[in-house]
Structure 1
Amino acid sequence: MNHWTPNVVHQGEERSPVLILDGFAPDPAVFVADAAAREFAPIGPYYPGVRATVPAPLIADLLAALEPLASETFGTGALSVVEAYYSIVTTAPSALAPIQRLPHIDGVGEDRLALLHYLSPNERGGTAFFRQRSTGYESVDRSRYPSYASALQLDVREHGLPDAAYIDGDTPLFACIARHQGRFNRAILYRSNTLHCADLPADLSLSPDPRIGRLTVNTFLSAA
């Protein structure tokens, strides 16, 4: 199963690793076909689009092959799935909620990893990572979260909320420290507590059809 040539990038001042794997799935069309057969719906207030659950058997072998690379890169142990979703961006920039206009983290635990698998043949965006200007934080663990949240409130009070648009590089509140290009059947693995967001082109298709829109698999992992 492991046919990858891994590329590890250490980014920012914190030198947080991002593992990049091209040709991630042996047959990515299986994921696209499975997604096309599922019912999508909004899940939670944070993701700017619709989602559907990924069947565990579809990703089990990939995660088993990924585990030793994750261990080597992040110093983690066994991987287990917390959540896994097909995700399609469908929200127009003008309709974004304030929380969707800011970089985010997926969790504060040091034992959590996020795996993003790009499945759009027309992928022209990617994923960007950020540093909070006022604190210098590029990642937010449990000990940092109170000061991160407090600083964010003060920053918004001073600078105002971002305009209704997807983030594109530096902002008054956050400095962009890395941009990783998406590519069909590429996957990236990173710590869930690193500040990040989707890096999307202005003319992105917002189609909810998995065969047309920006389809990804977002898998959130516990890495004991």
Structure 2
Amino acid sequence: MVSNYQLINVGEHATPVIVIDDFLPDAQSMVDVIAQSHRFEKKTDDFYPGVRSHAPDAYVAHLHHILPALFAELNGALVDISQPQLAMAQLSIANQHPSQLSPIQCIPHIDTQRDNEWALVHYLFCAPLGGTAFYRHKETGLERVNASQYHHYFSTLKRQATSVGLPAKAYINGDTAMFKQIACVEAQFNRALLYPANLLHSGCLPDDIDQTASHGRHLDIKHARLTANASILFN
């Protein structure tokens, strides 16, 4: 049985979001290991505003153990949730200065178009570096974007780049001309957040996030916005 979790519903469609405190036993020990042995690098195949590294094997094993138990416990409250399969797990540190952001990084995003994929973000920092917020696109009314809606949504964004204008070079932290914030979950050390991966979302990052960590092997973990991230697929 998984304890210390809360199921909340966000937006007009009451999309389920799961908040789990004390997600990992002795999380600080894992952070210490990461600081000593993990090298973080910028990836070129995604828009993440920071650096990535692989997740420790012990952490992946923990996910394989806890996720089936959690979703089995919640199966009666969630629709079409069965047989979770871990598709990806990695570590992330957000550290990109707002002036270096592209327009797509200044608005909420989705991780996938699939309805059967969930995302996990696990906060491994104590400093006030922001949690995760969820959004509705005002013109289309979309909060989740699946394959049938993808073309319409992104063609609307493209048109709005001219009609509304490009977003300011800043991390989104609340309502804008194009988006309405529908929920925000505060970060807390060793708190995990699970939600459908095609739900529009963004980290609530401060403007000085680039000063909280450095590149390379020697990271200031005490001040970095370190998270573990995973993708979970359901049959």
Task: Name the structure 1 match of 2:167.
Answer: 162
* Amino acid paired to 1:41: E
Select which of 182, 190, 193 maps to 1:185. Answer: 190
Runs of 5+ unmatched residues, structure 1: none
Are 1:15 and 2:14 an aligned pair?
yes
* Amino acid paired to 1:6: Y
Distance 1:100 1:215 in 2: 18
Task: Name the structure 1 match of 2:105.
Answer: 100
* CA displacement 1:11-41 (0-9 Å, x = unmatched): 1101101000001101102321232111111
Distance 1:80 1:56 in 2: 16
Are 1:216 and 2:227 an aligned pair?
yes
* CA displacement 1:109-166 (0-9 Å, x = unmatched): 1111101100002144100000011100000011111111111111112111111111
Distance 2:41 2:207 in 1: 23
* Amino acid paired to 2:182: I
Deviation of 1:64 after TM superposition, in Å, equals 2.1
* Amino acid paired to 1:47: Y
Q: Could you tell me whether the CA contact under 8 Å between 2:129 and 2:225 is conserved in 1?
A: no
Task: Name the structure 2 match of 1:42.
Answer: 42
The 5 Å alignment of 1:1-224 reads 2=1, 4-36=3-35, 37-43=37-43, 44-71=45-72, 72=74, 73-74=77-78, 75-204=80-209, 205-208=211-214, 209=219, 210-224=221-235
Task: Give % identity.
Answer: 37
Q: Could you tell me whether the CA contact under 8 Å between 1:91 and 1:206 is conserved in 2?
A: no
Distance 1:140 1:215 in 2: 27
Secondary structure at the aligned position of 2:147 is classed as coil
Q: Could you tell me whether the CA contact under 8 Å between 2:2 and 2:70 is conserved in 1?
A: no
* Amino acid paired to 1:57: A
* Amino acid paired to 2:15: S
- Cα distance change, pair 3–45 in 1 and its aligned pair in 2 (3 A): closer
Q: Which moved more, 1:174-183 or 1:77-86?
A: 77-86
Secondary structure at the aligned position of 1:146 is classed as helix
* Amino acid paired to 2:232: L
Deviation of 1:80 after TM superposition, in Å, equals 2.0
* Amino acid paired to 2:144: S
Alpha-carbon RMSD across the aligned residues, in angstroms, is 1.6
Q: Could you tell me whether the CA contact under 8 Å between 1:124 and 1:181 is conserved in 2?
A: no
- Cα distance change, pair 3–79 in 1 and its aligned pair in 2 (3 A): closer
Distance 1:138 1:112 in 2: 15
Q: Could you tell me whether the CA contact under 8 Å between 2:132 and 2:204 is conserved in 1?
A: yes
Secondary structure at the aligned position of 2:154 is classed as helix
Tell me the matched-pair count: 223
Q: Which moved more, 1:188-197 or 1:48-57?
A: 48-57
Secondary structure at the aligned position of 2:70 is classed as helix
Q: Could you tell me whether the CA contact under 8 Å between 1:92 and 1:206 is conserved in 2?
A: no
* Amino acid paired to 1:33: D
